[in-house]
Structure 1
Amino acid sequence: MAVSDTLSKNSPPSDASRGKGITLAVIAASQLMVLLDATIVNIALPKIRDALQFSTTDLSWVINAYTLTFGGLLLLGGRAGDILGRRRVFIFGTLLFGFASLLGGFAQSGGMLLAARALQGIGGAICSPTAFALIATNFDEGPERNKAFGVSSAVAGSGAAIGLLAGGLLTEYLDWRWVFFVNVPLAALIAIAAPRYITESERTSGRFDLPGALTSTLGLVTLVYGFIRAASDGWSDGLTLASFVLGVALMAVFLGIERRTRQPITPLHLFSDRSRTGSLVMMLCLSAAMFGIFFYITLFVQGPLGYSPLRAGVAFLPVSVSIIFAAQLASSLQVRYGPKPFMVGGGLLVTIGLTWLTRMNAESGYADGVLGPMLLFGFGMGLIFVPAMLLSVTGVAPAETGAASGLLNSMQQVGGSLGLSILTTVFARAAADKAAELKAAAPTDVAPTGEQLASAGNQVLTYGISHGFVIGAALAAVALLVAIFMIKSRPNGLPAESAAGAML
C-alpha cells in the first residue's frame, strides 16, 4: 500500500497531497526505526552473548537498557517537543538515535554495548512522542488524521515482528553488529527529509520537569532489576527486596512531584478521563504480554524447533500481516462504531491466543503450537492499536498533545520491560523446578546421551515458557476487563465524521 493512498479521497492529486504522503512516510519511518529496535536484537542475542561474554542473566539487559530509558524518558521527550518545537526535537532525537546505533555496532565490551543501548533509548524517547504528535500538527482532524493514525499504528504494531525478521536477515547473512549499523543511514535520511516535508509546531512556554523524569526512570529501573534478580537469586534475597522497596519509594516520590510541580512531566489530570485511562492501562498490560511473546517464542523456534535466525524471523511474518490488516480495519470503522467494540474484541482475541500458548510443550510444532495463537494475538492487537492511539489524544489541549502521546508510548515500553522481567522470573522458577524433576528421575548409573540432554533441555525450556505465558494470559484478561468496564461507547471529543472515506 502506497503511503500516498492514505490521503483523503476527497483531495485532488496535487503537490500538497503528495507532500503529505512523504510527510507521513518520514514520520512512519522514524516510528518503525525506533520501535523495531526493541526486538531487532532478539535473534542476534546468542551471537552477542558469545562475542561480548555476557552471562544469560545479564543478556536480558541488552533489551531492558533500551526499553527502560525509552519508556522512562518518553514523557520528557514529549514535553521537550511541546516547548522547543516538535520538528526540531524530532530531528535531534533521530540523529542521537543514529549516533548511538553506530556506537552499538562498534561495541567491544558488554558495558559499551549497554551504554549504547541506553543512549539509543534516550534518542528514541526524544523522537518517538514528537513523531506521533507531529501527525496532529500536519494532518487535519477527521478522516485525514484517522488515516494517518492508521498507517502509524500499523507500523507501530508490526514493528516488533519486522524487527525479528530484519534481525534474522542481518545476523545470518552479515553480522550481529549490523542490527545496529542499519539504523545509521535511515536516521540520516529522515533527518534530511524532515525540514522539507514536516511543518514545525508552535512552541509553548514552559520548563522541564527533570526531577519527575529522573525519579520515574530510576524507579522503573530498580523495579525491573528486582524482578530480574529474583529470577536468579530468589524472592527472599536481600538485594531483591531492597530493589522493590526502593523502586516503589521512587515511584511514590515521582507521584508527589507531579502533584506539586506547576508544569509536570505527566499531567495527572490526563487520567481524569475514564476511557483514556482505560486505554493506557490496556496498553500497559498488553505490551507486557507482547514483549514476552516475542522474546520467548524466539527462544522456542531457535531451540526445540531448530530454526535458523532467518527462518525464525520469517516465522513472525504472519503476525505482522494480521496486525496490519486488523489496524486498517479498525481505522476504517473506528468513527462509525466507536472504540469499544474493537478494544473488547481485540482484548478477547489476545486473551485466547495467550491462553493457547500456555499449552506449549516440547512436542509442539510451529503450525499447532505457534502460528494459531500468534495470529489471534496479532489480529487482536491490531484492533486495539488505533482506538488506543486516538483515545490518548482525544479531548487533549494542543499544548499537551506531546505529553499525552508520550504517556501512551511510555505505557507500551514500561509495560514491555516490566512484563518481560516478570515473565522471566516465572520462567526461571518453573524451568528450575522442571530441571530438578528430570534430574531426580534420571538413572544415576548411566551417563545421558547427547540426544537425551537435548530432549531434557527442550522440556525445561518449554515448561518454563508455558508457565510464563500464564502470566501473559492473566495480563490480557485484565486488559479485557478494562475494555469492558472502563472504555465508553462514544467518548467525549471523539470525531463524529463518517468513516466511509477513511478506508486505508
Structure 2
Amino acid sequence: MTNAKVAMPKVPSVTQKNLETTKIDDEVLLKQFELQDETPESLVWEATFVGVLCSAQLMTQAGLSQSIAPLHIIGNSFGTTNPGQLSWFASAYSLTVGTFILIAGRLGDIFGHRKFFILGFLWYALWSLLAGFSVYSNKIFFDCCRAFQGIGPAFLLPNAIAILGRTYKPGKRKNMVFSLFGASAPGGFVLGAVFSSMLGQLAWWPWAYWIMGIACFLLAVAGYFVIPHVQMPSRDSPSFNILERVDFAGSVTGVIGLILFNFAWNQGPVVGWETPYTYALLIVGTVFLGVFVFIESRAAFPLLPFAALSRDAAFVLGCIAAGWSSFGIWIFYTWQFMEESRKQSPLLSSAQFAPVAVSGFCAAVTTGFLLSHTPASTVMLFAMTAFTVGIILIATAPVHQTYWAQTFVSIIVMPWGMDMSFPAATIMLSNSMPHEHQGLAASLVNTVVNYSISIGLGIAGTIESQVNDGGANALKGYRCSWYMGIGLSGLGIFVAAVFALTTFMKSKKKASEKQYIE
C-alpha cells in the first residue's frame, strides 16, 4: 500500500534554533513512516489479524461487565452493600481506562503500537489475576486492582486502532473493519457478564478474573505472532528528546487532573459531598487540568494538540461524551434494576442482555455501509437518538412488567447508539490525522468514551444517594439516575443536530461554489 506524504502540524517553539531542529526531526519522522503496514494478503490471515486486534475491544468491555453482572456477589464477599462503594467496582476500572489512553497512544506513536499492544495484554493479565486473589484481602485492594487492571485496556485500545488505521486506506474496507471493532464491544460485555455470573453463582467469582488473566496472556502471544513488526522512527538524532516527545509535563498534569476530578465525583456519593476532601480534590483536579491546558498550548510536541483539532472533531467528541456517559448510567442501573428490583439472578440477567451482541453486530454492519454513503454527522445524530430512546424505555419500565416489553426493546435499541457513534467518531478522526499520529486519533475517542462512562456513573451515584432515602427507596434512586442519563443523551442529540446542520450548510456552500465556477 502506498502512503502519501502529509504535512506535520505546526509546532510552537521559542527560538529559531529549536524551530529548525523540530523541522529536521519531523522530516526524519516522515521519511521513516513512508512504509505503511501492508494489508494481510490471504483472507484467513486478515481475519486472524483483525480478530486479534478486535479482541482489545472485546476484552475491555468484558472487563467492565465482570464487576457489574455479579456486583452484589462480589460486594457480599467483602461485606458491603453500600451503593457508592459498589459503583467503585466498575468506575475504578473505567477511570484508568479513560485516563491513561492519551499517554498510551503517544507512547505507541513513538516506540511502536505493536509493542504496547502486547504489553497491554500482559499488564491486563497480571492485574486480572491479582483482582481474583483480592478475595483474600478487602474491597479497597480489589478497587486498586480494578484500577490497575484498567491500564491494560488503556494501552490496548488506541494502539489496536492505530494499527488498523495505518493498515487500511480510507474507504469501504476500512469503514467495515472499524465497525467490526466497535461491534466487539456489546459482544464482549455479554461474554464477560455470562461467564462472571455463571462462575459467581455456580463456583467462585475470583475464577472469572483468573480465567481473564489466562485469556489475556494467550492474546498477547497471538499478537506477537500475528501483528507484523513495523520499523519505528529512529531516536538516534541528538535533537531527539524523549521527555519532550512524550510531553512528560503534560502527561503528569493531565493524568493527575483527570484522576482527581474523577475520584471526587465517584467518592462523593460514598462519603458525602459535605466531607471536605471530596470537594477539595475536585478543586485541585480542576486546577491541574487548567495547568495541563496551559502546558499543551506551549509544548513542542503536545499530548493533545488543540490547534490540530477541527471544529468537526470538537462536535464529534462532544457527542461521544454526552452519549457514552448516558450509556454508563444505563448499563449500571439496568443491572441493578434487574437484580434488585426484579429479584433476578445475575445469570438470568446476563441471558436477558444477550440480544445486545446480535443487535450490536447488526448495527456495526449497517454503520459500515452508512459511513460510505452518509455524512458522519448524520450517523452521529442517529446514534444519539438511539441512546436517548434506549434509556427512556428502561427509565419508565414498571418493575413487574414483562421483560419482552420495554426492557427488551431498550436492550435492542441501545447498541445502535454504541456501534454507530464509536465507528463514526473513530473513522473521522483517523482520516483527519496524519499517518504518524494514528495513536492520537484513537486515543481521543477512547479517552472520551471510557472517561465519560466513569464520570457519568459518578454524577448518577451522587443523584442516587441524595434521593433514595438512605437506601430505603432504591428504585427512586435508579429512576432519577436514568433521568440524568436522558438529559445527557438529549444534550448529545442537540450537539449532533447542530453538527449535522453545519455539515449540510458547508456541503451546500461547496456545491454552490462548484456550480458557480463551472
Alignment partners' CA distance in 1, 2:257 and 2:401: 39
Counterpart of 1:53 in structure 2 is: 79
Contact 1:423/1:471 (8 A) holds in 2: yes
**Is 1:389 equivalent to 2:426 in the alignment?**
yes
Contact 2:426/2:441 (8 A) holds in 1: no
Equivalent residue in structure 1 for 2:476, among 463, 483, 494: 463
After TM superposition, list the pairs within 5 Å mapping 1:134-213 onto structure 2.
Answer: 134-204=163-233, 207-213=245-251
Judge which range, 402-411 or 370-379, deviates more: 370-379
Contact 2:186/2:356 (8 A) holds in 1: no
For 1:158-197, what per-residue CA distance to the aligned partner results, in whole angstroms no more than 9, with x for missing partners? Answer: 4334432332223223321122112223222222222322
1:297 Cα offset (Å): 0.9
Counterpart of 2:64 in structure 1 is: 38
Contact 1:323/1:382 (8 A) holds in 2: yes
Contact 1:358/1:466 (8 A) holds in 2: yes
Equivalent residue in structure 1 for 2:391, among 341, 354, 362: 354
Alignment partners' CA distance in 1, 2:389 and 2:444: 27
Judge which range, 377-386 or 357-366, deviates more: 357-366
Contact 1:72/1:213 (8 A) holds in 2: no
Alignment partners' CA distance in 2, 1:211 and 1:160: 35
1:247 Cα offset (Å): 1.9
Equivalent residue in structure 1 for 2:125, among 67, 80, 98: 98
1:157 Cα offset (Å): 4.5
Distance 1:15 1:257, change over 3 A: closer
Contact 1:220/1:247 (8 A) holds in 2: yes
Judge which range, 89-98 or 374-383, deviates more: 374-383
Write the letter of the residue equivalent to 2:85: D
Alignment partners' CA distance in 2, 1:364 and 1:238: 43
Alignment partners' CA distance in 2, 1:105 and 1:346: 36
Judge which range, 110-119 or 394-403, deviates more: 110-119
RMSD: 2.4
1:218 Cα offset (Å): 2.5
Counterpart of 1:476 in structure 2 is: 489
Write the letter of the residue equivalent to 2:497: I
- Residue segments in structure 1 that go unaligned for 5+ positions in a row: 1-13, 436-456, 493-504
SS in 2 for 1:315: helix
Counterpart of 2:148 in structure 1 is: 119
1:490 Cα offset (Å): 7.8
Counterpart of 2:254 in structure 1 is: 216
Write the letter of the residue equivalent to 1:286: G
Contact 2:99/2:447 (8 A) holds in 1: yes
Write the letter of the residue equivalent to 1:193: A
Write the letter of the residue equivalent to 2:457: L
Judge which range, 202-211 or 149-158, deviates more: 202-211
Write the letter of the residue equivalent to 1:378: P
1:342 Cα offset (Å): 1.7
Contact 1:86/1:200 (8 A) holds in 2: no
1:491 Cα offset (Å): 12
Counterpart of 1:301 in structure 2 is: 338
After TM superposition, list the pairs within 5 Å mapping 1:403-442 onto structure 2.
Answer: 403-432=440-469
User: TM-score if structure 1 supplies the norm length?
Assistant: 0.84
Equivalent residue in structure 1 for 2:365, among 325, 328, 342: 328
Equivalent residue in structure 1 for 2:282, among 227, 230, 244: 244
1:365 Cα offset (Å): 4.1
Write the letter of the residue equivalent to 2:95: L
User: TM-score if structure 2 supplies the norm length?
Assistant: 0.82
Counterpart of 1:267 in structure 2 is: 305
- Residue segments in structure 2 that go unaligned for 5+ positions in a row: 1-39, 236-241, 507-518
Aligned sequence identity (%): 25
Distance 1:314 1:270, change over 3 A: farther
SS in 2 for 1:106: helix
SS in 1 for 2:66: coil
Contact 1:165/1:316 (8 A) holds in 2: no
Contact 1:65/1:118 (8 A) holds in 2: yes
Distance 1:213 1:365, change over 3 A: farther
Equivalent residue in structure 2 for 1:367, among 399, 404, 409: 404
1:295 Cα offset (Å): 1.1
For 1:116-145, what per-residue CA distance to the aligned partner results, in whole angstroms no more than 9, with x for missing partners? Answer: 222211222112210111112333432222
SS in 1 for 2:68: coil
Contact 1:154/1:327 (8 A) holds in 2: yes
Alignment partners' CA distance in 1, 2:354 and 2:144: 31
Judge which range, 408-417 or 303-312, deviates more: 303-312
Equivalent residue in structure 2 for 1:278, among 315, 320, 326: 315
Contact 2:464/2:481 (8 A) holds in 1: yes
Contact 2:57/2:182 (8 A) holds in 1: no
Alignment partners' CA distance in 1, 2:292 and 2:431: 25
Alignment partners' CA distance in 2, 1:202 and 1:387: 29
How many corresponding residue pairs? 455
Alignment partners' CA distance in 2, 1:387 and 1:308: 36
Counterpart of 2:512 in structure 1 is: none
SS in 2 for 1:417: helix
1:209 Cα offset (Å): 2.4
SS in 1 for 2:343: coil
Alignment partners' CA distance in 2, 1:24 and 1:309: 32
Equivalent residue in structure 1 for 2:44, among 9, 12, 18: 18
Alignment partners' CA distance in 2, 1:233 and 1:121: 24
**Is 1:66 equivalent to 2:98 in the alignment?**
no
1:199 Cα offset (Å): 2.2
For 1:94-153, what per-residue CA distance to the aligned partner results, in whole angstroms no more than 9, with x for missing partners? Answer: 111111111111122223322322221122211221011111233343222222112101
For 1:239-289, what per-residue CA distance to the aligned partner results, in whole angstroms no more than 9, with x for missing partners? Answer: 332122112112111111211221222222343x12222221111111111
Contact 1:287/1:416 (8 A) holds in 2: yes
Counterpart of 2:113 in structure 1 is: 86
Counterpart of 2:516 in structure 1 is: none
Write the letter of the residue equivalent to 1:480: I
Counterpart of 1:310 in structure 2 is: 347
